[in-house]
Amino acid sequence: MIEKFSVSFHKGDIDKLKLKLDLTEFPDELTNTKTHYRLNYHKGLIEKWKKFNFKNFESKLNDFDNFYFHFNNNIKVHFILKKSSTKDSKVLLLIHGWPGSYLEYGKVINPLNELGYTVVVPSLIGFGFSSIPTERGYNIEKNAIILNSLMLELGFKEYYAQAGDWGSYVVRTLGHRYPENCTAVHINFLMPNNLNKIIRNNKSKKHLLSNLSDLDKIGLSKLDNFAKKGRAYFKIQAEKPERLSFALSDSPSGLIGWIGDTTMGASRFRVTEDDLIENATLYWLTRTIASSIRLYSEERYVQYPEPGFVKVPSGITIFPDEMAYIPLSWAKEYLNVVSYSYAKKGGHFPQLEYPEIYIAEIHNFFSKFGGKPASKI
């Protein structure tokens, strides 16, 4: 069942957030270290958050039509739907990751719609306005199952899907499990399913470690650095999510510091402070920081989830400031790659950093395929 609703935050929750921001206690800081997220920057964010216009934010969220999809009577999936007036519009599913949310697509929905796409942007389970699970099992695969059910419920028997971060794994799972529905995929984040396994087996897969371009070598160098120095947040969220949850659920300063450090580091501070504060506000007022980081715990038994080979046409765009990426020869181990490109600029959140480049990349890929009729809902 599909249910339309309007976003409305409780005044008491907003007042409590304002009070907690006023009572913020800051940590000390070393002066002789090089960290990208500094205390003075954080203090500035808190001061800016104190002046945040919650009514304007609420109104902005309602500029798009918001819906719930009721799945199996106990799970609600939030999504926004922007239908195209084009007769044979392409149906495009856009999926966020962490520490993002559906808000990261706010700058690209209308431009994509004007290009003839009917756009569907859901919140993953445990994120935003979607349900907070009370039991284990809502991993990447489960999210893919639910989102394919959503698309079928909307009348989209065939659709395209695009994502980065965790969303890219959902997209790959959709392309693998439901090729008759998810008929083409595009991702801007691709990590190896199991790097250690590839290295152990390199005697039989020498082609994966040879004949690499200079750009490939840069990507692998970043991958090595990320594996050694960039996964601390990943490990604690995967192994001890409750320890973080107690603190982040009680302190808005802690919450925006935790997601802000990751967001700004991954985007080289190209995500605006306004975008970061809006995202933090969504996490806080929906009380979903704890449930969102549990996605890492759901997937902790493998280094990265393995969706299986994706046979449908697949496109990949590498943004140069992405934290890591793998060569085309590796990508072909996982997907039927028909397009592999390097963008001129951008990082982990290209739809926020350079929306015009992001739109051009995915439109250049999906425009190669025929349009699909939009929903009549």
pLDDT at residue 273, as a whole number: 97
CA-CA distance, 37 to 96, in Å (whole number)?
A: 23
Predicted TM-score of the model (pTM): 0.93
Structural domain includes residue 374: no
Cβ-based neighbour number of residue 302 at 10 Å:
9
363 is catalytic: no
Structural domain includes residue 274: yes
CA-CA distance, 15 to 335, in Å (whole number)?
A: 48
Structural domain includes residue 224: yes
Cα angle 225-314-86, degrees, rounded to a multiple of 5: 125
- Can you give the residue range of the structural domain that contains 301? 2-8+39-366
Q: With beta carbons less than 8 A apart as the criterion, state whether 176 and 308 touch.
A: yes
Beta bridge partners of 187: 163, 316
Cβ-based neighbour number of residue 13 at 10 Å:
14
Structural domain includes residue 190: yes
If we measure between CA atoms, which residue out of 191, 173, 189 comes closest to residue 181?
Answer: 173
In degrees rounded to 5, what are phi and psi of residue 325? -160, 165
165 is catalytic: yes
310-318 and 335-342 beta bridge pairing: parallel
pLDDT at residue 302, as a whole number: 45
Walk along the chain (377 residues) and give the pLDDT tens digit of each residue: 999 999 999 999 999 999 999 999 999 999 888 777 899 999 999 999 999 999 999 999 999 999 999 998 789 999 999 999 888 889 999 999 999 999 999 999 999 999 999 999 999 999 999 999 999 999 999 999 999 999 999 999 999 999 999 999 999 999 999 999 999 999 999 887 665 555 445 444 555 667 788 888 888 888 888 878 888 898 899 999 999 999 999 999 999 999 999 999 888 899 999 999 999 999 999 999 999 999 999 876 444 456 789 999 999 999 999 988 888 888 998 999 999 999 999 999 999 999 999 999 999 999 988 544 333 33
Structural domain includes residue 25: no
42 is catalytic: no
Structural domain includes residue 21: no
Give me the CATH number covering residue 176.
3.40.50.1820
- Which of 117, 138, 159, 296 is an active site residue? 296
- Which of 102, 165, 176, 325 is an active site residue? 165
CA-CA distance, 372 to 79, in Å (whole number)?
A: 20
> Quick check: helix, strand or coil at residue 134?
coil
How many domains does the chain contain in total? 1
In degrees rounded to 5, what are phi and psi of residue 234? -60, -45
Q: Which residues contact 239 (CB under 8 A, 6 or more apart)?
A: 297, 300
- Which of 96, 186, 348, 363 is an active site residue? 348
Q: How many secondary structure helices (H) and strands (E) does the chain include? A: 16, 9
Q: With beta carbons less than 8 A apart as the criterion, state whether 364 and 340 touch.
A: no
Structural domain includes residue 18: no
CA-CA distance, 98 to 101, in Å (whole number)?
A: 7
Sequence-ordered alpha helix ranges (H) in the chain: 11-22, 39-50, 54-61, 109-114, 140-153, 165-177, 195-200, 214-229, 232-239, 241-248, 252-267, 273-286, 289-298, 328-331, 350-353, 355-366
pLDDT at residue 90, as a whole number: 94
CA-CA distance, 345 to 103, in Å (whole number)?
A: 21
Q: Which residues contact 321 (CB under 8 A, 6 or more apart)?
A: 267, 268, 345, 346, 347, 348
Amino acid identity for residue 8 in this structure: S
Structural domain includes residue 19: no
